[in-house]
Every structure is written in C-alpha cells, then in structure tokens.
Amino acid sequence: MTGASALLPALLALPLIGAILVMLLPKEEPGLARGVSLGVSIATLALSLVILGLYDTKIASMQMVFDKEWIPGLGARFKLGIDGISIFMVLLTTFLMPIILLSSYKAVTSKVREFCALLLILEVGMLGAFLALDLFLFYVFWEIMLIPMYLLIGIWGGQKRIYASIKFVIYTMAGSLLMLVAIFYLYAQYGSVTGEYTLELSLLNRLVLPRDVQMYCFAAFALAFAIKVPLFPLHTWLPDAHVQAPTAGSVVLAGVLLKFGIYGFLRFAMPLFPYGAAELAPYMAYLAAAGIVYGAFVAFAQSDVKKLVAYSSVSHLGFCMIGIFAMNTQGIEGSIYAMISHGLTTSGLFLAIGVVYERRHTREMSEYGGIWKQMPVFAGLFLICMLGSVGLPGLSGFVGEFLTIFGMFISGGTAGEPSFWAEFMPHPMLLGAVATSGVIFGAIYLLYMFQKMMFGPLDNPKNKELKDVSWREIAVFTPLVIGIFAMGLFPKPFLQTMDPTVDQFVTRFEAKLAEPDGPAHIMGQAAVAPTPEPAQVEPHAGHNHAPGEAAH
Amino acid sequence: MQQTSNLLFLIPLLPLAGAFLNLFVWRVLAPTTGKYRQSDALTHTTAIASVLAAFGLSCYLIGVPLLEEFRAWQKLGDAAPETMGGLHQHLWTWIEVGSLKINLAFRLDTLSAVMLLVITGVGSLIHIYSVGYMHGEKRYPAFFGYLNLFTGMMLILVLGDSLPIMFIGWEGVGLCSYLLIGFWFDKTENANAGRKAFVANRVGDFAFLLGMFLLFYATGSVEFADLQEPNSIGALKEVFWGGERMGFWIALLFFIGACGKSAQIPLYVWLPDAMAGPTPVSALIHAATMVTAGVYMVVRMSFLYAHSTTAMAIVAVVGALTALFAAIMAFAQTDLKKVLAYSTVSQLGFMFVGVGVGAYTAGIFHLITHAFFKAGLFLAAGSVMHAMSGSGDIMKMGGLRKYLPRTRWSFLIYCVAIAGIVPFSGFFSKDEILAGAFGAGAEGWGPVLGKFLWATLSIAALGTAFYMFRLYFLVFGGELRCDEETKAHIHESPHSMTSPLIILAAFTCVIGAIGLPHLTGDLHLPTYLHDWLAPTVVDFKRDSLLMANGSPSIFEAHLSNGLTIGLMGIALAVGLIGIFAAKAIYGKGPSEKVAAMCETKNGKAIYDVVLNKFYVDEFYEWSIYRFFRGAANVLYQVVDRWLIDGIFINGSAWLIKKLGQGFNLFQNGQVHRYLVALVVGGAIIFFFASSPTVSFKYEQVSTNVVEFTPDFSSGTSIGGGLDAKGALISFDLDADGEPDVTKEYDPRNPMKVKWTFGGVGEYRVNMTMTDAVFNKKYSVTRTIHVKDLTEKGGAQ
C-alpha cells in the first residue's frame, strides 16, 4: 500500500470528523456550525481535487486502493478504490456539498447544528458508497445514506414531510432487500465454488453464474437500483420527496443520490451478471425510453415548479439508463456525463427555486410571472441552468444527451460492422429515436416553466417586492454556471479520464458474457466444456462440480 | 488543397466577445447598486465594433488567401480537384469517444465565404440601424448582447467543419431567436411566440440529430470532408429501409431539420408569430440570416442530396408549395410585418425549389439577394412603424410618401426587386431558380414535375408582385388614414436608421450582377457566383462520383438561349402584371370593391380562410398543443397519481396496514381474549387431530395369502399417531359386513393381519378403526388384487 492509498479513507474521515465536531459546538451559535461545516466541506473538496490530481488517467483499473480486513468471519473487507467511473461521482459529491451548505444559510434556521452534521454524515455515506469495493461495505454505506436523508426530509421538510420521508425510505429499502438476498446468494456461490468466502467485488466479478440464475440475480439488483434511478414506473417516491425536502435535500437527492442507481448498474449489477443484464437489457431500455417521454409529459402537467423539476429528473435519468444499456463506450460515457451534468443543472434549478421560495414561500408557478424585470441577475443564472438542462449545445447537458442517444443508436454497430450487442438489443435505432424525441419535449416543459415564472406581465403585487440575488446567492450559483459552461465546451478532458475504465468495462462485460453456460464457475475455468463428447471433459482441480450441485 | 488559418476563429469569436462584454463584463465593472445602467454609447459601440471587425476580417480572409486559392484552382481548369479545401482551423477536439471524434474546427470555403459576407455585412448595417430604433429601451445592453450572440452563433453555424459544430450554431441561433422574439416579454403573446419558435425549431432539430446519427451509422463520420469521400458516398447509396437508399432517409431527416429552421411546410407557423420581436431582429434573424440556414445546410450537404433524386423532389415540391401558400396567405394580412413574414416564408420556398432541382447556385444567389432586399424591407417597415408610433396596421397608413421620402424610395426599390423586375437583383435570382425548375428532370421524376414546379413558382411570383405592391400602395400611396394624434408625430427616421436602408437599396440594385443569366455563345455573360461556388457545391456536369456511378440524373439541363430569354420574358411579364393589378386595385388606398367582394357569401368564406391562414395554427393548437396538454394531464392524474402511486404503491401500503390491523386483534393485552383464543384454537387442533385418515397397506406373501397393515401416515395427521393408540382395528375380509379380525392398535408394534383368499382375482376389503377417545368409527374400503405369484409379486 502506497501513501496515496490513505487518501480515500481520509476523504471519508474528514466529513465524519467534521460532523462530530459540529455536534460538539455550542447550540446557541448556528453561525459557527455553518462556518465549520462549510470549511470541512471545502476541505473535503480540496482533498478530492488532490485525488483527481494524483489520479492516473491512463490506468483503467482501481487506483489508490485501500484494503483492510474488516469482518474476517464474514469475509468482508474495508476496501476502497477509485476508477474512471467513480472519480467523477466523488467529485460531484464533494463539489455540490459546499454549495448546498452555503445555500442553506437563510433557508434553515432551526436546529442548524444538527442540519449541518447530518449533511456531512450524508456526504460520508455517499462517498463511501461510491468508493466501496466490497459488497458488504457498499451495502452498509448504501443504507447509511438513507438515515440522514430521511431526517432531512422529515425534520426540515414541507407540510407532508412525514409521508414523503417514510415513502422514500420504505421504497428504497424494499427495493434493496432483494439485492441483499442476491448478495448472500453470490457469497454462498463463490464460497462453494472456490472454498473461500468473500464479498470483495474484484473476486466476485470473476464468478460466472448459470445463465438463468444470472437473470434472477440481475433482476434483484436491478430492482434496487431502478428504484433509485428512478426508472419509470418506480419513480413515484421522487416527486414527493423532492417537493417536501428542503432545498438542500432536493439538491443532494437530485445531484447525487439518484446517481447511485446508474452507478449501481455499472459497478455491480452489470459486471456481476452480464448475461442477466444482456437478456433484460431491452426491457430496461424500453422502460428508460418510456421514462424519457413519460417524465417530460408529466412534468408538463405540473403547476408546482419543484414537482416539474422533479419529473424532469425522471426524463433525464432515462437518458442515463439508455446510455448504459447501449453497451458501448459512447453510451456509457455519455451516461456518466449526463449524470454529472444533471447534477449541475438540476441542482441549479432546485437552488433557483429555493431562491424564489425563500422570498415568496410558494412554489406555484401561477404565483410568479414577469420576475425577470425584478431580478435580472437571477434570471440570467436561472436561464443558464435551464438551458443546460434543455441540452443546448455548448452547455453541459448536450454532450451527455448526445452521447447516450448516439450510443444507443449505434449500439447494434454501424452499417459495416455489427457489434456483439446487436444480438441482445432489438431496434436500437427506434429506441434512439424515441429518446431523441426527448429533446423536443424537454424544451416544451422547461421553456414553459421559465416563461411562467420569468416572462409575462409583472402583475402580482407581491412579486414587485422581490429583491435580486445577494452576493451569497451569486456565490452559490457561480461554480455551477462555470461547471455548466466548462463541461459543455471542453468535454474531452472529462471523457478522456473515463475512457480507459469504460473501455475495460465493455471488454470485460463482453468477455464474461461469452463464458459458456453451466454451473457456477470462475471465469475461464468452466467446469464442463461446452462440447458434448465426454472424452473431452477435463475437470479442473478444486473447481469440479457435478452439474446440479451448484445450481439450485 | 487546404490552407491553415490561425485567424478564422476570430470571426465568430469577435461577436461572441462583444456579447460577453455587453451581457456580463460591463455590468460587473459598473456599479450595480441603484438604478444604474451602463451607458448606451459603450453598449452599441462594443456591439457594432465587434461585428464590423468580424466583417473586416472576413473581407480580408476571403479577399486575400481564399481568393488566391480560388484563382489557383480555377487555373487548373479541368485538372482541378472537384472540391477546394479553403481555409481551415482546428481549435480543439470537442468530443472524442471510441470511434466518434468531433473536432471543433472551422472551414472557410467559397460557400461559407458568401454566407460570411451576408451575415457580417447585413448584420453590421442592422446593428447600426438598431442604435436609432432601440433608443431609450431599458434593456439596451441585453438587446445588443443577444444580437451579438446571435451573430457569433450564426458564424459558427456557417463555418463549422462538421455537423455537430454546425449544430452548435444551429441551436445557438435558435436560442437567440427565442430570446429576441420574446425580448419584450411582459406581453404574454411575445413570450409565447418565442417559445413557439424554439419548440418548432426543436422539432426540426430532432430530425437533424437523427440524420446525424444515421449518417454516422452509415459512414462512420460526421465531418463534411470525410462524408464526401467515395467510401461514404458508396455507403449512402446502399438500400436501407422501405426500398429507399440510406442517402434518401438521411437527406429527408436533414430536410425536416431545415424545414424547422427555414419555416417550410409544415413547420412554418412560428415565423409569422416571430414578428413579435423588435424589427431589427426580424430583419437580421427572420429575413436575412437564420431562416436561410436551412437552405445553406442543404447546399452544404449537396453531395448527399445529389444521391437521392427522391429526396430532391421532396425538397423542391415542399419548397414550391410553401412558396405558393405563403404568398396566398400574405394577401389578406393587414399587419405590415406579417405580410413581410409570409413573404419571407414564400421566398424561402423559392430557394428550396432552387436547391431541390439541383440549381444550388441559384438557391444561394436568391439567398443573397433576398438577404438584402428583405432585410431592407423589414428595416424600412421598422422606420415606418417608428413614424407611426409603433403601429403596423397598414389599413391606418397611406400617403406616407410625403413624410418619409428616404424610407419610401428605398422601400420601392426593394419591392421592385422582390417583384422580379429587371435589372434589380431579385429578377436575376428568381429567374435562375425558375429556369432551373423548368429545365429540371431526373430519373423517376416524370416529365412534368419540373414544369409543375416552374408553373407553381410563376403563380407564386405573380402573387408576390401583387401583395408587395398592395403593401406599398397601402402604406405610401393614397391618402393618410390614421388619427390626428399619430399624424402629429409622423417624422422621417434619424440617419442612423435611414442610411442602412440606402446602403441596402444600393446593393439591391447592383448585386444581381454576380449572377447574370446563363447564356451561351456570343451572348455569354460572366457568371461570377456560379464560378465561385463551383468548387464547393455539387456540379452535376463535372462530379465524377455522380457520373461514374450512373448518376441519378442530369439536373441543370441545358436550356437554349432562346428558351432562357423567353422564360425571362415570362417572369418579367408576371411581375409587371402583379404590380399593375395591385396598382389598379389598391393604388388609391384600400379597395372598396375588394371589401365588397369579401362581403359576399362565397367571397367571405374564401377571405376568412385566407385571413386565418388556412386555419393551420388552429389545427396545430388542437392536434398538438391540446393533445400534449391533455395527454400530460391524463398521464399525471391517471397513470402517475392514481394507478402507480395510488393503487400499486399506496395500495400495497394500505394492504399491509390492514393486515397489521387484523393481526392487531390477537395482541391487544386483554387476557380473557387470549384465553378464548387458546380454547378455540385448542378445540380446532383437537378436532383435526382426531380426524385421521385411515388406510391400510397390503402385501401378497404367497399365492392366496395376503398380509394387511393399517396405515395412518398419509392425510391429516395432527396427532394422528397419538390417538390411534388404543384404537380398535377391525378387518372385514370376506365382504360380508361383519368384522373378521379385531385387534387393539399399538403404534410401537404395528399389527399385521394375514388372510388366505380363494385364489387369483379381485376382492373387496374393509378396515374400520374405532377411536379410543371419542369412540368414533373411521372406515375405508379398498379393492385388492390377488395375483398368481409365479408371474409377478403383488407388493404395493
């Protein structure tokens, strides 16, 4: 273990220590709690930038791996690592956290200390889940995230906050229970094949399960992650949670938490069960395409602006799902890119809604109108976030949408050379076309929202009192706006960083998919050769199993 | 042949920098407290200087390096390569993933050079005009900032060396159009118009994106240079779907994109509404530049269209129909700018016919002349409205020739040009399109398509001359019809507004010289534009790929000098007829005859249809907007709230809650209830326990001798073994109804009963158990088979 490997645990420790520190501060001084937590989150951001600096963009596999024995009886290890897929998720988390804390200065005035500490604990949970390389560790972090989020909605939320928070928790937990069963199954299978019990991801990735079992296991994982994405029709917790959550909660939710769905598919569900993923890919892609259109339509029906943006997430994350099931570099990198961009633009939209909500205490679009005149600077910031979300070329949203749809469109290969995925993904062009229609619908509902709020006559007397954004609020938006432009104009450095990892992901997926069917085995060590002649059956020492012994 | 130029990026960057300064830097540098506004002079100087600088740089790059290259290319004569690289600049790689590589690169070739001059040249004049027109506007910096942003985006569109870069500009101009149409957004109609424009454009962009994806699918590239390689062209000729070539589908998709941007049927509806924007915007964006981007794109992709005559036919027919219908719709409009808007739609239709029949040069030529006279018309209209206190109702104008001499004369020149009167520029460009249509013919086109296009366009041209002069006479002819208050304010516009009008009028007079008619022999005239564009657009006569592969057709069929001159005569006559008709009817103001005609039953019906623009907007309102609204509400209320959330999610929660409430009854803490449950439960268990299913097994031990064993193992067996102890078991083995053997049952030592039967055959055996506790009887009767054991054992 080199010195760099201490960086990742330090990244988790920093906000954790910060949270404890904040709780130790005197209750009467909310300003101190805000200051300390902001400082800690900025320090965490700085540390994550150091990690980015040390990250070698030419290496595909895990870097800065930290590996310690954790629960030896269970075979669970405290193993952390970072690669081209997780690095941007980590950066997105650390990038958004100071913004979230800064944005809540005025919005949260009760139990400030607890609020700040919970956000920092949430950061620990999210970073841990992105970095975990052990299934058990991941599951622990995955569930840890729920608690602060539950409290954030339940304590600082709106009127129906209890309903929304319980719905959020039960939805997510119900989804992840089947995943836990599948994890246990995997654990047992690996143990029975190799005689060694582990939950370490890199080892489990080498286990090839029988194809029918892969389908069940993939489905179990997919349910947990699809709820998180959220994939249509498992999305109904999202609008409730968003509407009831305080602005900070909405930003974390949209900015980071939703990304765990896609990340989970990429990190766990797809590499562990490639055949299951391949067989179920069309259905996932159909649902994703349906979700793009459905989310856009339903967003258009909203009168509550926060709900509108919440449904826009259903549509946007549909692009991400389409991208990963394109199973080519373009689609997957597009998907990751779209996730980061969504983290910036949608966070910006939620923050913008928070700005006007703090002033007017309503989210009904009909209450607004013509406020551009009153708040021109705010209008400009809001416009940029909105256009980024619409996917205007030159801003961040376009690159992700373009690449995901592009990836799906050519996922069956190009005219000359069909790809291995062509066999599994029927009608990729049709799916691509349906997804592309999202560019029309996206413009319709977002422009409608913008017009309702910013254009038209300034006829509501309450709006004539509105004050433009303060310097603090400008400071909240500035990094987002810079990010939106930078990612739109210079996507190459981002894509380059992901390239090796994503390439390797696709190659490994393809290789594991090509493994022969049969009882569970380690990759490249099929117990039974695919040919029927018994003379050629040569069981490998230590791994030979009669058919049916491994399969239940 | 390709030169690298390090200055190219400055052309779009300069206006973009102007926008950045006006929208951002000046505001930040200036104090932001109070009611401060940055000085107007700083704002418009920045804006105008940036566009003028871009214009100057364009002139330099086109006039020096590009012209040199062009001369060299021309000198080679027939030995010259088909295309000429022009100036190229690679800035950075924008996106690179797998096989997809998109460079942020610009190319200045002869085609983009033409566009560059139009955009920066006409653009500069419109910027200057805006100084006077927008005077006193509160959001002056925003206006100039958007205008600059638009110019920059338009330049990216034109200079982009690959489809995605073009798409950046393509969407960017759409955004600026949105912002500028809705510039006076406190009126809801204006904001709606902006949104409508953006959404209609996005429908086109949807097709543009799909076309781009399909092109990559077919050829593996999205760069213009790669796409023209023989390999790519070969891929485009493959049959893809529905029996049509790949090239056809791609061309069709791109044309839908062009329809959105260039307001062709069926996506034209946004353009008339877009007149809600300030007039300089209408002139720059909705007349001279942005709306012509679709035409430019088709010409840029001429290598693609050239390989699908079907796609070209669609382009031409849609263009012709648009030209005709828009001209008809312009008849009944009473708003100055609306007439001009329909006129623009109609003229764009002319350009599409030009490119659709393979007369690419003619299409671009008309684009250029139209940019001058239509921008001029809009600016003049702005000058008129400026004088009329902002009103654009032509029914309340008239007689303005006395008050606005400079505006009037330039307006007249533009009108003559658009009507197609020699020697004004519109005559030459329109004539070239008409001639191209007349001579066009291709495999699969049939003999009459070209003539049909020509006839349609001629009627549209007649209509154009008529409605333009109707407009002219209603505005400038006759007597003034406005109220006294407006009349008191009428004044000629300041020089900053009229000098651009005069410059544009001057160009309108002379610009036709770049595209004189194609005559041969002694009558041969120089055709500058045609020669200039030759190395960039597909030339059907010399394109080797077309010829070598059995080209789809020979467009640009050669017309004899006589025919060419004859067609010119017809076109001129048509224009004159239109003008004189308008003079006869509207020469002295609104015609009472027409008004009376519109009052008759049939006349009114027709008039209403035309006035309401064939009810197309209403159709869209119902079929698309209302549908979308309705579907959105249904999906939200029914599917999302009721079905998914109500039934599935909260329904399952409800079910679990109810189940929980049910189970709650068993643990409410009341001991007597527990006792009741205990007793009832015990009784139930007892009942089941005392109801064993009885049976017996038998085994044939030798011939005729069978051994029987009672069997309580199957069936309900709660406590079955327990109470069987002490039970009396009796067997009736001879079927006489009387027990033959009776024994007490002991589970630890299961009883066995042997019986000798009379021989091989079937016998009925009954076993009865008498329960020791309740004294209940359970009985079972079975048929047993006694077999000859020498053959087979009878064990069961």
> Residue B433 corresponds to which tokens in the numbers above?
């399109």
- Which positions 72-101 of B are in contact with A (Cβ < 8 Å)? 92-100
**With a cut of 70, which residues of chain B have pLDDT below it?**
1, 30-38, 442-444, 539-558, 687-693, 712-725, 747, 772-774, 790-796
Q: Which pTM value belongs to this model?
A: 0.85
Tell me the C-alpha distance between B193 and B201, whole Å: 12
Distance from CA of B680 to the nearest CA of A (A): 36
* Residue of higher predicted confidence among A307 and B726: A307
Distance from CA of A14 to the nearest CA of B (A): 35
Q: Which of A236, A300, A443 sits opposite B649 (nearest CB)?
A: A236
Q: Do A297 and B100 touch (CB under 8 A)?
A: no
For chain B, domain boundaries? 1-161, 388-611, 693-786
DSSP B160: B
Q: Which helix (H) or strand (E) holds A412?
A: none
> Residue A149 corresponds to which tokens in the numbers above?
């989020």
Per-residue pLDDT tens for A427-450? 888 999 999 998 888 888 999 899
- Contact predicate A307/A243, CB 8 Å: yes
Mean per-residue pLDDT, A524-547: 50
Q: How far is CA B98 from CA A333, B226, B781, in A?
A: 10, 17, 80
Tell me the C-alpha distance between B48 and A23, whole Å: 58
Tell me the C-alpha distance between B239 and B234, whole Å: 11
Nearest residue in A to B641, CA atom: A236
**What pLDDT is recorded for position B725?**
65
**Residue A537's pLDDT band (cuts 50, 70, 90):** very low
Q: How many residues does chain A have?
A: 552
Tell me if residue B64 falls in helix, strand or coil.
helix
Q: Which of B188, B206, B633 sits opposite A456 (nearest CB)?
A: B188
Strand partners, A76: A71
Tell me if residue B706 falls in helix, strand or coil.
strand
Q: Do B217 and A429 touch (CB under 8 A)?
A: yes
**What pLDDT is recorded for position B393?**
82
- Contact predicate B109/B536, CB 8 Å: yes
Q: Which of B26, B95, B219 to mutate to test the interface with A (most CBs of A within 10 A)?
A: B95
Tell me the C-alpha distance between A508 and A62, whole Å: 14
Nearest residue in A to B189, CA atom: A456
DSSP B455: H
User: Which residues of chain A lie closer than 8 angstroms to B198, CB-CB?
Assistant: 443, 447
Pairing of strands B741-744, A76-82: unpaired
Residues in contact with A376: Cβ distance below 8 Å, sequence separation at least 6, in sequence order: A468
Q: Do A405 and B213 touch (CB under 8 A)?
A: yes
Contact status of B103 with chain A (Cβ, < 8 Å): no
Contact status of B193 with chain A (Cβ, < 8 Å): no
Q: Do A393 and B168 touch (CB under 8 A)?
A: yes
**What pLDDT is recorded for position B539?**
67
Angle between helices B309-331 and B336-356 (to 10 degrees): 160
Tell me if residue B701 falls in helix, strand or coil.
strand
Contact status of B727 with chain A (Cβ, < 8 Å): no
- Which positions 7-66 of B are in contact with A (Cβ < 8 Å)? 23
What DSSP line would sit under A409-478, residue for residue? HTTTB-SS-B-GGGGT-S-HHHHHHHHHHHHHHHHHHHHHHHHHHHSS----GGGGGPPPP-HHHHHHHH
**What pLDDT is recorded for position A536?**
44
| Cα dihedral across residues B245, B246, B247, B252: positive or negative | positive
> Residue B497 corresponds to which tokens in the numbers above?
């507004």
Tell me the C-alpha distance between A128 and A107, whole Å: 28
Tell me the C-alpha distance between A261 and A317, whole Å: 9
User: Which residues of chain B lie closer than 8 angstroms to A458, CB-CB?
Assistant: 186
Distance from CA of A498 to the nearest CA of B (A): 10
Give the long-range contacts of residues B647-654, CB within 8 A, separation 24 or more: B648/A233, B649/A167, B649/A171, B649/A236, B649/A237, B653/A170
Q: How many C-beta neighbours within 10 Å does residue B744 have?
A: 12
Cα-based angle A30, A31, A33 (whole degrees, multiple of 5):
65
- Contact predicate A435/A292, CB 8 Å: yes
Of A15-24, A131-140, A157-166, A306-315, give the lowest mean pLDDT range: A157-166
**Between A and B, how many CB-CB pairs are < 8 A?**
158
Tell me the C-alpha distance between A252 and B425, whole Å: 61
H helix and E strand count, chain A: 21, 4
Query: Tell me, what amino acid is at A1?
Result: M
**What pLDDT is recorded for position B563?**
85
Q: Do B186 and A170 touch (CB under 8 A)?
A: no
Q: Which of B100, B171, B203 sits opposite A330 (nearest CB)?
A: B100
Which residue, A15, A137, A145, is CA-closest to A68?
A137
User: Which residues of chain B lie closer than 8 angstroms to A368, CB-CB?
Assistant: none
Indicate the burial class of B623 (C-beta count within 10 angstroms; 0-12, 13-18, 19 or more): exposed
Give all strands (DSSP E) within B203-266, no chain letters. Answer: 239-241, 244-245
Q: Do B209 and A402 touch (CB under 8 A)?
A: yes
Tell me the C-alpha distance between A494 and A12, whole Å: 24
> Residue A396 corresponds to which tokens in the numbers above?
């961040």
Distance from CA of B92 to the nearest CA of A (A): 9
Mean per-residue pLDDT, A51-71: 89
> Residue B6 corresponds to which tokens in the numbers above?
């390090």
Pairing of strands B753-756, A76-82: unpaired
* Residue of higher predicted confidence among A91 and B790: A91
Tell me, rounded to whole angstroms, the distance of Cα A191 from its chain centroid.
Answer: 31
Distance from CA of B216 to the nearest CA of A (A): 8
Q: Which residues of B239-272 are buried (b: 16+ CB within 10 A; e: fewer)?
A: ebeeeebbbbbbbbbbbbbbbbbbbbbebbbbbb
Q: Do A403 and B95 touch (CB under 8 A)?
A: yes
**What pLDDT is recorded for position B115?**
93
Q: Which of B190, B199, B220 sits opposite A440 (nearest CB)?
A: B199
Per-residue pLDDT tens for A497-522? 999 999 999 999 998 888 888 788 88
Q: How far is CA A295 from CA A222, A289, B265, in A?
A: 20, 10, 30
**What pLDDT is recorded for position B120?**
94
Tell me if residue A468 falls in helix, strand or coil.
coil
Mean per-residue pLDDT, A100-110: 85
Q: How far is CA A105 from CA A102, A385, B255, B640, in A?
A: 6, 21, 52, 35
User: Which residues of chain A lie closer than 8 angstroms to B96, CB-CB?
Assistant: 492, 495-496
**Residue A216's pLDDT band (cuts 50, 70, 90):** very high
ipTM: 0.88
Which residue, A99, A153, A118, A102, is CA-closest to A348?
A99
Asked if pLDDT for residue A365 goes beyond 70, the answer is: yes
Of A146-160, A255-269, B548-562, give the lowest mean pLDDT range: B548-562
What are the two backbone dihedrals, phi and then psi, of residue B742, each rounded to the nearest 5 degrees? -135, 130
User: Which residues of chain B lie closer than 8 angstroms to A440, CB-CB?
Assistant: 199, 202-203, 205-206
**What pLDDT is recorded for position B720?**
46
DSSP B78: G
Does the N-terminal peptide bond of residue B141 adopt cis geometry, omega within 30 degrees of 0?
no
Tell me the C-alpha distance between B356 and B233, whole Å: 19
> Residue B540 corresponds to which tokens in the numbers above?
């059907």
Pairing of strands B87-97, B3-4: parallel
Q: Which of B170, B210, B631 sits opposite A433 (nearest CB)?
A: B210
Tell me if residue B88 falls in helix, strand or coil.
strand
Q: How many C-beta neighbours within 10 Å does residue B703 have?
A: 15
**What pLDDT is recorded for position A319?**
94
Query: Tell me, what amino acid is at A174?
Result: A
Residues in contact with B434: Cβ distance below 8 Å, sequence separation at least 6, in sequence order: B454, B457, B458, B461, B567, B571
Q: Which of B182, B202, B628 sits opposite A300 (nearest CB)?
A: B628
Q: Do B198 and A443 touch (CB under 8 A)?
A: yes
Which residue, B596, B413, B592, B577, is CA-closest to B508?
B413
Q: Which of B185, B216, B217 sits opposite A456 (nearest CB)?
A: B185
> Residue B592 corresponds to which tokens in the numbers above?
């009472």
Tell me the C-alpha distance between A302 and A296, whole Å: 10
Does the N-terminal peptide bond of residue B747 adopt cis geometry, omega within 30 degrees of 0?
no
User: Superfamily assignment of B693-786 in CATH?
Assistant: Immunoglobulins (2.60.40.10)
- Contact predicate B84/B1, CB 8 Å: yes
Tell me the C-alpha distance between B420 and A208, whole Å: 76
